Structure 1
Amino acid sequence: MDSVSSSPPLFSASFSTEQPENTTAHEEYSSLQKSMHILSMVVYSIACLLGVTGNGLVIWITGFKMKKTVNSIWFLNLAIADFIFTFFLPLSITYTALGFHWPFGKLLCKLNSTIAFLNMFASVFLLTVISMDRCVSVAFPVWSHNHRSPELAARIAVGTWVLALLLSSPYLVFRDTVLSSRNSTSCYNNFALSDDYSSEATRRLWRMRHKAMIITRFLCGFLIPFTVILICYSIVAVKLKRRQLTSSAKPYRIIIAVTVSFFLCYFPYHVFSLLEISKNSSSHEMKIALYIGIPLVSSLAFFNSCINPILYVFVGPDFKEKFRQSILSAFEGETTLWSCSSVRQSS
């Protein structure tokens, strides 16, 4: 096992990067790695550009243009999580472009990965809270009307951030930097907190902690939250069908769209993470699959952070209207400013 993985520093694989001895296999691995690294940089760049601008726009509209409601608080926090994550992506782009040399120091190495998983946990926890909120609103409308408020939503949102921070905090401990034999600094997962991986005890500790991290991430960041989400929306669907309130289902479109996009973007990543710690991960076929699959599914997970703003505009009618009004008012302001400037110049 190689403790330093020459792979992107966020959702990257931690599997062995030891190269096979024969030349043909070595060239095959090198070619795959090069292709995946180029793909990573392209995806990171697109996700960064779309994510920062799109989520920045969502933060501006939900934070300053829309009335403070429970729903606007949910979407504001989702956008903040995605914005912070995509804002840090240039660090990963630079790291990959420099041939996996990390010039930013140990603190940013730790923060970079921590923020990536903070985004993942915060997003799925917020989606879970939203589904529970919808379920309570439909199942207990009177109680919901009396107790559901923006203040309560804000406190619950803070709680989800605290929980997400606790679950992503191990990366502040395990993420580390090391000077490699190529005289370049690598940012990697040092699960054994050791500089020497030659002993079997250290390698066993590395494998145990690595497995614990992946299983915890899968259970807390995917399986349990999505089980709750499915149960909640099943209850909502049954209640609406019984009451024959088909028109009342329209506000749920954006919630369902965001939830489905999260599932499609993150489910393949968790599948490959579990394959990474399987007993067959050391076989040649599985190594090839992981070399190709991990960067692809990681890239798909990245795209979730820039898909949400697009869904808000095209699926959410309220957000779409506020977006249109904000853009029109911005253009009207520019036109007024230009007209006043022209009048002053002519006079």
Structure 2
Amino acid sequence: METDNSSSEYSGDDYYYTEVTPVSVKQDPSYDARDIARILSVVVYSLTCLLGILGNGLVIAIITFKMKKSINAIWFLNLAVADFLFSIFLPLNITYTAMNYHWVFGAAMCKLNSFLLNLNLYSSVLLLMTISLDRCVSVVLPVWAQNHRTTTLACLICVFDWMLGLAMSSPSLVFRDTTTHQGNVICFSNYSLSRNKSDHPLGMKRHQTVNIVRFLTGFLIPITIITVCYMIIVFKLKRNRLAKSKKPFKIIVAIIVTFFLCWTPYHVLHLLETKHDQVSHVVFMIGIPIATALATANSCMNPILYVFMGQDFKKFKVTVLSRLVNALSEDITHSTLTQRSFSKMSSMTEKETIVL
């Protein structure tokens, strides 16, 4: 059954403006640009899938079998699991895009595919926020962190982050749907939950709510918290000159910056999509496929950063495995801070004893 060609009915995640437009392909002046965007997306998806599975699989194996259980290892392991889980489902997106957005995997996989993209977003950003808060507490309250910062607590926090990520990704399981348009089966977000045009205003409100909430919880609020945490850390370290090694600090900052560079276009375009009638359709037709591909590319970036940010990167005789172990090893900042804090306390005690 042919559906309404109104682009607003299909506005949402992943290429809806690409597939649903009231202008025929031959009359659409942006057809060539859309085709280029589609091919570019396939290339990015393919590279991301290959590197994501190999890189994150290697990180998971190293942390599981080669490293002792530590808080740092727990954070990195959960990040790698989130990216690996998404990467193994990327062949669905590759096939969908290569077939000119023809979905052949059924409605259930359409829901699951989008759900995993959002789960990757939320779980990653929640874990990055957790890491930032952990670093901040370790620097500001090193003695308290020494007594309360345990691997058991870290595991419980990760479980909470995953549960929260699952809950925030659940709209994909409700609203994602498939329909036939111009001979193609498309996977889109049916916020109206029906084909009845009378339900369109309600669908638009749901669409706006989902996109705004995703922007706030998956981008604006986390980046604000993370930025404040690292401003506090930088101020504290510069004032006290505490950290002997900047390696872990640089790695975490690189991961966070890369995450937000990859996801910013995705969030901006989907936020603009809530006011799609005020923005040219060409922006969404070309922008959304590229922005989504860039967002997915983040799932393969962390293992690359671990290798390139490791202290031994310039020593080419050192293997990739050694560089990964070096990058994932427990940070020195926390232990240094704690030792100095205890030293200060001991020194103060000695002075008090002499005075008495």
User: Into which bin does the TM-score normalised by the smaller protein fall?
Assistant: 0.7 to 0.9
> How many Å separate the matches in 1 of 2:324 and 2:104?
40
2:176 counterpart of 1:175? yes
State the partner residue of 1:189. Answer: 189
Query: How far did 1:289 drift?
Result: 2.1
> How many Å separate the matches in 2 of 1:4 and 1:49?
34
Q: Residue 121 of structure 1 contacts residue 221 of structure 1 at CA under 8 Å; is this kept in 2?
A: yes
Query: How far did 1:33 drift?
Result: 2.3
Secondary structure of the equivalent of 2:179? strand
Secondary structure of the equivalent of 1:27? coil
2:204 counterpart of 1:207? yes
State the partner residue of 1:339. Answer: none
Query: How far did 1:326 drift?
Result: 8.8
> How many Å separate the matches in 2 of 1:72 and 1:37?
37
Q: Quick one: which amino acid aligns to residue 173 of structure 1?
A: V
State the partner residue of 1:342. Answer: none
> How many Å separate the matches in 2 of 1:152 and 1:113?
31
Q: Quick one: which amino acid aligns to residue 123 of structure 1?
A: S
Task: State which of 242, 245, 248 in structure 1 corresponds to 2:242.
Answer: 245
Query: How far did 1:19 drift?
Result: 3.1
State the partner residue of 1:272. Answer: 269
Q: Residue 19 of structure 1 contacts residue 29 of structure 1 at CA under 8 Å; is this kept in 2?
A: no
Give CA-to-partner distance per residue, 1:92-124, whole Å, 9 cap, x none: 111122232222122111100000000000000
Q: Residue 4 of structure 1 contacts residue 188 of structure 1 at CA under 8 Å; is this kept in 2?
A: no
> How many Å separate the matches in 1 of 2:231 and 2:171?
34
Q: Residue 13 of structure 1 contacts residue 273 of structure 1 at CA under 8 Å; is this kept in 2?
A: no
Q: 1:32 to 1:326 in 2, by over 3 A?
A: closer
Q: 1:133 to 1:301 in 2, by over 3 A?
A: same
User: Which deviates further from its counterpart, 150-159 or 318-327?
Assistant: 318-327
Q: Residue 263 of structure 2 contacts residue 295 of structure 2 at CA under 8 Å; is this kept in 1?
A: yes
State the partner residue of 2:351. Answer: none
TM-score of the pair, normalised by structure 2: 0.82
Secondary structure of the equivalent of 1:192? coil
> How many Å separate the matches in 2 of 1:277 and 1:325?
44
User: Which deviates further from its counterpart, 299-308 or 255-264?
Assistant: 299-308
> How many Å separate the matches in 2 of 1:138 and 1:202?
53
Task: State which of 287, 290, 297 in structure 1 corresponds to 2:284.
Answer: 290
2:121 counterpart of 1:120? yes
Where does the alignment leave 5 or more consecutive residues of structure 1 unmatched? 328-347
**Runs of 4+ in structure 1 displaced over 4 angstroms?**
13-16, 317-322
State the partner residue of 1:98. Answer: 99
Task: State which of 293, 307, 327 in structure 1 corresponds to 2:301.
Answer: 307
Q: Quick one: which amino acid aligns to residue 81 of structure 1?
A: A
Q: Residue 177 of structure 2 contacts residue 189 of structure 2 at CA under 8 Å; is this kept in 1?
A: yes
> How many Å separate the matches in 2 of 1:298 and 1:126?
21
Q: Quick one: which amino acid aligns to residue 294 of structure 2?
A: L
Where does the alignment leave 5 or more consecutive residues of structure 2 unmatched? 1-5, 326-356
Query: How far did 1:245 drift?
Result: 2.1
TM-score of the pair, normalised by structure 1: 0.84
Q: 1:93 to 1:146 in 2, by over 3 A?
A: same
Secondary structure of the equivalent of 1:176? strand
Query: How far did 1:145 drift?
Result: 0.3
Secondary structure of the equivalent of 2:280? helix
Q: 1:325 to 1:213 in 2, by over 3 A?
A: closer
Q: 1:37 to 1:321 in 2, by over 3 A?
A: closer
State the partner residue of 1:331. Answer: none
Query: How far did 1:258 drift?
Result: 0.2
Secondary structure of the equivalent of 2:28? helix
Q: 1:205 to 1:325 in 2, by over 3 A?
A: closer
Q: Quick one: which amino acid aligns to residue 12 of structure 1?
A: D
> How many Å separate the matches in 1 of 2:136 and 2:324?
32
Secondary structure of the equivalent of 2:187? strand
